[in-house]
């Protein structure tokens, strides 16, 4: 049994639903929320999960900052949602519907900066992987089907989280050590954007079979704080679905969180 004082406190980035006059409730308000599956996935380990609301904006009150959250929480998870704004990596949108959410990009990057400065581990899921790659100097394909010849269908609006494909784990990586003897696994696929140029900060740990898109990344320099990310959604995998057991990846992240918390000077 974990006591409340000993439980890890994991920050979870918020999704944004901007003011919409067609919405029946809160039509002129910005809503911030989390999808419950990823919160439940993290809580399955016994960790306490806290959504980190954006402390800045037109209605900001008080002096709470991203730094305060980074100092209080033990680690951060960046989860899925809207496209990344192409301007974040020096491009113009190829189509208007791929313009992404610049406001959320700024929010997520501010979170990354604060938690990095505090030496707290970071874990990214889907958009989270893409945002981390961009935050550290990488670029994205704005639309896989348009920009990657002979690519798989990585996002199917009808099947959604039941759209699966195989990925190959790169031998010698930490991901391969988490799954000894396993070379190829099955994962869900719910994204139409992907890493184009990998940030020099990261190494690729898994690739999509046949089209070679990057599916998992990890920080190269182990002397710096932990960063790892997945293109698929581990929180959407269920037992009996013939997909990879993502528990080892969650344990790897939370072990890094616990180690960082135990260093001298950390509460």
Given the residues 116, 205, 215, 235, the one annotated as active site: 235
**CA 159 from chain center: how many Å?**
22
d(CA 21, CA 25): 9
**CA 162 from chain center: how many Å?**
19
Given the residues 79, 154, 165, 233, the one annotated as active site: 233
Residue 126 annotated among the catalytic residues of the structure: yes
Residue 235 annotated among the catalytic residues of the structure: yes
- Nearest alpha-carbon partner for 157 in 182, 134, 205, 189: 189
Which residues are bridge partners to 166 per DSSP? 186
Given the residues 15, 54, 116, 126, the one annotated as active site: 126
Q: Are 133 and 217 in contact (CB under 8 A)?
A: yes
The residues, ordered by sequence, that sit 6+ positions from 152 with a Cβ below 8 Å of its Cβ are: 165, 189, 208, 210, 211, 213
Q: Which pairs with CB-CB distance under 8 Å and at least 24 residues apart come from 66-72?
A: 66/110, 66/111, 66/113, 66/114, 67/114, 67/117, 67/118, 69/11, 69/111, 69/114, 70/11, 70/111, 70/114, 70/115, 70/117, 70/118, 70/120, 71/118, 72/9
d(CA 69, CA 9): 10
Which two three-digit tokens encode residue 27? 């039509």
Which two three-digit tokens encode residue 2? 């974990």
Residues classed as catalytic: 126, 233, 235
């Amino acid at each position: 049994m974990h006591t409340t004082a000993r439980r890890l406190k994991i920050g979870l980035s918020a999704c944004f639903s901007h003011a919409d006059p067609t919405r029946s409730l809160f039509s002129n308000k910005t809503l911030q929320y989390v999808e419950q599956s990823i919160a439940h996935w993290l809580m399955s380990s016994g960790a306490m999960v806290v959504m980190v609301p954006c402390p800045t904006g037109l209605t900001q009150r008080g002096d709470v900052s991203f730094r305060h959250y980074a100092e209080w929480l033990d680690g951060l998870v960046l989860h899925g949602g809207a496209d990344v704004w192409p301007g974040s990596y020096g491009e113009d949108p190829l189509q208007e519907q791929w313009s992404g959410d610049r406001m959320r990009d700024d929010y997520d990057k501010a979170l990354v900066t604060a938690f990095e400065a505090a030496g707290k581990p970071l874990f990214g899921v889907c958009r989270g992987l893409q945002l981390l790659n961009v935050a550290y100097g990488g670029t994205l394909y704005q639309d896989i089907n348009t920009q990657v010849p002979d690519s798989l269908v990585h996002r199917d609006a009808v099947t959604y989280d039941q759209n699966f494909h195989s990925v190959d784990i790169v031998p010698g990586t930490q991901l391969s050590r988490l799954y000894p003897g396993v070379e190829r696994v099955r994962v869900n696929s719910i994204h139409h954007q992907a890493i184009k140029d990998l940030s020099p900060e990261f190494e690729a740990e898994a690739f999509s079979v046949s089209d070679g898109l990057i599916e998992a990344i990890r920080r190269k320099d182990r002397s710096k704080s932990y960063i790892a990310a997945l293109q698929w959604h581990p929180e959407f995998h269920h037992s009996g679905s013939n997909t990879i057991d993502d528990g080892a990846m969650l344990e790897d992240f939370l072990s890094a969180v616990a180690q960082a918390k135990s260093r001298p000077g950390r509460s």
